[in-house]
Structure 1
Amino acid sequence: MERIADNRVLNELLEPDGGAFCQISTGELNYSLTGTARRGTVLLIAGLSMHRTDWSPELIAGLHAAGYATLTVDNRDAGRSVVSGRHTGFGAGDEFRAEYGLVDMAGDLRELILALDVCQVHVVGMSMGGMIAQHLALIAPELVHTLTSVMSTTGERAVGRPQQESKWVFLTPAPTDSREAFVAFSERYHAALAGPHFPDFERARETASMKWGRGISLDGTARQLQAIQADGDRTERLRRVAVPTLVVHGDADPLIDVSGGAATAAAIPGARIHMIEQMGHSIPWQRAGEITDTLAAHFQAASA
């Protein structure tokens, strides 16, 4: 798979006409539904502080070529989605308090799937998005054809730990005083996540500029992080997942150690894990083809 460098193509894949809005019970979600669903629709769930425009355009193009439509969404408190609501519980022992939880974020997506009438979907979540995807498979298995948890974890503290030099990404707020400062920060952030093998600073600048134009919410990122912390260890809950499941993880992930992916695969009955050589905590264009092929095989096996 070749790297997509044409800005027009990037915009068509990531931000066609600013996306669309869907009204749900707690607000509205900004989404983009592109491609032709000859073989089905893939819901791509973004990670912490990510916008839907942060997904790999090469992966999206690859899924389109394989016969799948893609549905990307701004999670609540990110991008152009405006959703309010309160968490139905505070996690084990009230150790962390959050305004909402990951299960509420999964509930937002459940409403979106029903409103757009695209069920059943192949659900692919990255990082925090993988955690939300896990919840979606638990609360709405009838809407989920397959589950893929990418570079994510179970919430158990003993696994998926970040490397010491990457911990700053959780503690350092992005600057919001100027586009230039935000883009420069995003390059440093990208370097910390991508690792040493596949940095792509040009792409990091492109997506950061797109993100800046869509709006940055530091408070929203903090609330998302609180939701992750409040969710606690999902290991026992994951044993109830009953949809075909694939776990994808890079063997050079500096932010969520590969042990998090291994624990996820071990917790979900029948799940299998696919390791991506030299991949960090982002999807480089050099590995997008491998991931596309792996996803397509997973989807087709479940449909056979």
Structure 2
Amino acid sequence: MNAHQPPQMAKANGIELCYEIFGASDAEPLVLIMGLGAQMIHWDDDFCRDLAGRGFRVIRFDNRDIGQSTKMSGGKPLRPMELLKLRIFKIAPEAPYKLWDMASDVVGLLDALGIRKAHIVGASMGGMIAQEIAMQYPDRVLSLTSIMSTTGNPRLPQPTREASAILLAPPPTTKEEYLTRFGQTWKVLRGASFPLDEAKDLERAERTYARGLNPAGVGRQLRAILASGNRKDRLRSVKAPTLVIHGTIDPLVKMEAGKDTAASIPGAKLLLIEGMGHALPIPMWPTIIGAIAEHAHGATKRG
């Protein structure tokens, strides 16, 4: 049975996380971790249903500081001088929490759900969190899939100017401005035109807005990424079977970052998707979902 449980709250790592489950209760657990400032619904409902239909209990959730999970406090908006210090002097900005705290949130969610081990799939910042889980909690990870993410290696190519501007733009002040910005943002991040996705942007933006925005939380998440440093050397310790997926035209986390991630994790497989930017476009779902499912099932058989 391909059941779908409505959103619920779980206590995890001292906070509350909003989560949702697709798929049979006895299927293999697979956790989806979303990226910077992105709510769990950015793992599209149909994407989750498709994965669940391939034999997984799919769990998506709002990271701390986003959607309906606990809102944290502290941390001012990033200043240009902090970014300059990071780039030139490698002085990391201060952050109220780091990526490893967010990794512990995910493990806390697994604990709350009574799950001993799961397949861990993360996109962008979610990929960074997934990497941290694989390093800190190796016995909780059946397999790792890191999508459009990075090692944090400072030598990697920087985002395009347009993609950087999206990250650092002041938050919209009205709903209309937010809805317009949503479409503009994803047009840049996709790196190309995807009419099926563009047709859904307004509906996705409305749903995201209705669940609640937290611009200060997005700023704290960005600080967490920048303050967590370079994982490249530590990633050699990853034991979980690993798949790295990356688009060839990603404007935010360049393709070289995906190659660097795969090269840093022993035995990792790399899947480059031609014409994919920093998004999960609908026409590419069969490739992405197929690769995740094949990798996870393969890891289970080997284990």
TM over 0.5: yes
Kindly indicate whether the alpha-carbon contact (under 8 Å) linking 1:153 and 1:263 is maintained by their aligned counterparts in 2. Answer: yes
The alpha carbon displacement at 1:142 in A equals 1.1
**Which residue in the other structure is 2:137 paired with?**
140
**Which residue in the other structure is 2:80 paired with?**
none
**Which residue in the other structure is 1:292 paired with?**
289
2:178 counterpart of 1:182: yes
Q: Which runs of 5+ in 1 are unaligned?
A: 1-11
SS at match of 2:174: coil
**Which residue in the other structure is 2:251 paired with?**
254
Query: Residue type matched to 1:198 in 2?
Result: F
2:46 counterpart of 1:50: no
Normalising to structure 2: TM-score of the pair?
0.89
**Which residue in the other structure is 1:9 paired with?**
none
Kindly indicate whether the alpha-carbon contact (under 8 Å) linking 1:98 and 1:230 is maintained by their aligned counterparts in 2. Answer: yes
Kindly indicate whether the alpha-carbon contact (under 8 Å) linking 1:38 and 1:67 is maintained by their aligned counterparts in 2. Answer: no
Cα–Cα, structure 1 residues 206 and 99, in superposed 2: closer, same or farther, change >3 Å? same
The alpha carbon displacement at 1:58 in A equals 3.5
The alpha carbon displacement at 1:177 in A equals 2.1
The alpha carbon displacement at 1:34 in A equals 1.6
Kindly indicate whether the alpha-carbon contact (under 8 Å) linking 1:37 and 1:67 is maintained by their aligned counterparts in 2. Answer: no
**Which residue in the other structure is 1:153 paired with?**
150
2:301 counterpart of 1:266: no
Q: C-alpha distance in 1, partners of 2:173/2:23?
A: 34
Give the root-mean-square deviation of aligned CA atoms. Answer: 2.1
SS at match of 2:233: helix
Cα–Cα, structure 1 residues 24 and 83, in superposed 2: closer, same or farther, change >3 Å? farther
Cα–Cα, structure 1 residues 251 and 197, in superposed 2: closer, same or farther, change >3 Å? farther
What are the Cα deviations for residues 196-230 of structure 1, in whole angstroms up to 9, with x where unaligned? Answer: 14252222211111110111111000000000000
Q: C-alpha distance in 1, partners of 2:212/2:73?
A: 20
Q: C-alpha distance in 2, partners of 1:108/1:83?
A: 13
Query: Residue type matched to 2:291 in 1?
Result: T
Cα–Cα, structure 1 residues 214 and 288, in superposed 2: closer, same or farther, change >3 Å? same
Kindly indicate whether the alpha-carbon contact (under 8 Å) linking 1:150 and 1:247 is maintained by their aligned counterparts in 2. Answer: yes
Q: C-alpha distance in 2, partners of 1:83/1:40?
A: 30
2:271 counterpart of 1:243: no
Kindly indicate whether the alpha-carbon contact (under 8 Å) linking 1:250 and 1:278 is maintained by their aligned counterparts in 2. Answer: yes
The alpha carbon displacement at 1:21 in A equals 0.2
**Which residue in the other structure is 1:33 paired with?**
21
What are the Cα deviations for residues 222-270 of structure 1, in whole angstroms up to 9, with x where unaligned? Answer: 0000000001111011111111000000111111100000000000011
The alpha carbon displacement at 1:119 in A equals 2.9
**Which residue in the other structure is 1:198 paired with?**
194
Kindly indicate whether the alpha-carbon contact (under 8 Å) linking 2:92 and 2:229 is maintained by their aligned counterparts in 1. Answer: no
**Which residue in the other structure is 1:97 paired with?**
94
Kindly indicate whether the alpha-carbon contact (under 8 Å) linking 2:244 and 2:262 is maintained by their aligned counterparts in 1. Answer: yes
Kindly indicate whether the alpha-carbon contact (under 8 Å) linking 1:194 and 1:281 is maintained by their aligned counterparts in 2. Answer: yes
The alpha carbon displacement at 1:160 in A equals 4.9
Query: Residue type matched to 1:35 in 2?
Result: G
Q: C-alpha distance in 1, partners of 2:13/2:243?
A: 31
**% same residue:** 37
Report how many aligned residue pairs link the two structures: 286
SS at match of 1:123: strand
Q: C-alpha distance in 2, partners of 1:85/1:137?
A: 27
The alpha carbon displacement at 1:59 in A equals 2.3
What are the Cα deviations for residues 26-56 of structure 1, in whole angstroms up to 9, with x where unaligned? Answer: 2211000121155411100000000001113
